[in-house]
Structure 1
Amino acid sequence: MQVEARILVTVGTKAQFIKMAPVLKAFDQAGVVYDLVYTGQHSETFSLLERTFGVRTPDQVLVPNIEVTTKQGMLSWSIKFWRAVWSSISAGLWRKYQYGLVHGDTISAIYCAIAMRLSGMSVVHIEAGLRSKSLFDPFPEEIIRRLISKIASVHFAPDNLSVANMKNARGDVIHTHGNTMRDALRMALGEKADGDIECGQGKYALVSMHRNENLSNAKAFDSLMKMVIETAQTSQVKFVLHPATRSRLEKSKWLPLLKKNLNIELLQRMDYPDFVELIMGCSFLMTDGGSNQEEAAMLGVPTIILRKNTERMDGIGDNVVLSDLSSEAVGEFVQKHCGKKWTIRAIEKSSPSIVISQWLAKRVN
């Protein structure tokens, strides 16, 4: 007889998928029964990621066939999301679960946390406790993190600082001793995860940016595009375009300038192992992504964060530099690392995903 799932897992973005895939695999290995829901905030490359990580297809897609890339798209998706969720709640489909899992600090995460509370679930927040120094930087991620901490009753925090930030939180705070990105990275690297491999032979700069704080601020966006073009004067550049970044570029003067620059290659977003291979070929990484920062810190790749502030301390003071959006800081970083090689570090074998799975398994089995 099939056991009814008591856990509902929600995934909204590609980054969430990558970080939640090892948790789902750990559930499968431990015999933890769960239902999986995609919110539809992102959909690009999800089918690739399902095959890459061996994760089953979802039980429900709240808003199918959409990729949110603009503010108008976000509004349209939000309306459809709440219609779908309210239909599920009204039909009693979401009232049977004991725990509802959300990850990180996306719009999907806060929407699902609210919906889960309305349905009577205990909200479980994975990657809890991250904090920046400003309520509005990054926006809206910092506000979302703090709101979810008020809604959730189980908080899986990845490090000592995150645990300390949750000292006044309601419910259970569990130290996972690492981010689930570690498990995803080990899965993507295979034997290479044991480290001591010389990387950077590609002698190119890898660029990735997608955050709202950079795309929606015209001054910051123009400054960053100038930095990319200036970097291309020193190094070959491979620029991975997230859908939101591509959409923003298409409405700007910068896309033709990037396309005609022979030192810049514009790439579509790709499967996760392919992106990891791209990292391993680069001399250095320029990114505004938190997940990229975590990957860089674990791998040891020289990285500059294209932000004024970060909620993550991963790699800071080691191989990761916070730019403060300073063109001078970026220029100095590029000159220092252009054409250089670096050595991949061994990725720790301890599994945060198993910590999460074992804690929940004791409560639902």
Structure 2
Amino acid sequence: MAGVYISWPFCAQKCTYCNFASGVFPRDLEQQYLDALTREIRSTIWGWRPETVYLGGGTPASMEPEVLSRVLELVPGAPWVEATIEAAPGAISREQVQAWVRLGLNRVSLGVQSFVETELRRTGRKHTARHVAEDVAMLRSEGISEINIDLIAGLPGQTARGWESSLDHVESLDPPHVSVYMLEVDEDSRLGKELLLGGVRYGAMDVPGEQQIVECYEQAVERLAQMGLARYEISNFARPGSESTHNLKYWKLLPYLGFGADAHSFDGRLRWQNVESPAEYAKAGDPRLEPVEAILAEERFFVGLRLMEGVHPTTSEWAEHRAVIEQFVADGLLEADGATLRLTPRGILLSNEVFEEFIHA
């Protein structure tokens, strides 16, 4: 069963670490964007009923209930098996949550990133640990128990003690799902660009070293396991049955359709994406860029190996990649168990290097 991703790129502020095509845009662009979004969804010929819906961005939780209703009523398949909306802590109301439940949303992903106020302020986040606790309690009281909490290892000024404090807060809130990301350094975020340039803005000088970031990640793996949250994907941890059904479609190469600016789609053979700029998307008659044929043999390795269950290469794939596989097994980065190939704990930390070899093999 396929999934649907809907992009709402509007935010109250642009966080320094964010490398998504989102941000603060002119108010009048929202209506133009909404018109284009509903037009794109309405023009879709559905050959299947979506199983999952994921509203990301941006801050889709900022959508007024009537706007959200206007979008979701165009997506067939309700009630969906899983319908997720991303939200910024401290910026949602009980009335909103009640509307989400009426519209079929049953999972909320909170962009917490940290529970330490000094770390949050340096990135542009406005919430506090208290806001997160209040939001979790409110969501549960309104019937939404499937809650994810995002954390980032590597924020400016982050210390081992602060990271431990964040994990303590997670334990006290007892969510069924947690995502732990190591800070990405690239030109698509203000902080990443500053780090690449060797600058000092956005707290770049206070970003922890690579070893400290790795230690934070490994500590999270251990602590979350003690909480009953098993790592099922490199950055995702869940109790049995609370894994993200939608995101698993990406890692298992199942079909999905993306709507909105910079949204990606995959039909099992072809991949395509929409134009990245929200302003360009709002003006485009057809926002889709040229579809490209997916190279599934390669993608099965660098997407599937993200999962702890690993991949099951075909006989021809074993033969084609034998030299690379044998080298990584010898280096302790991969383990081969019968018909299954998976990353080792050390391989997880060096996963980008492993994936790159399979792409170029």
Q: TM-score, normalised by structure 2?
A: 0.34
Q: TM-score, normalised by structure 1?
A: 0.34
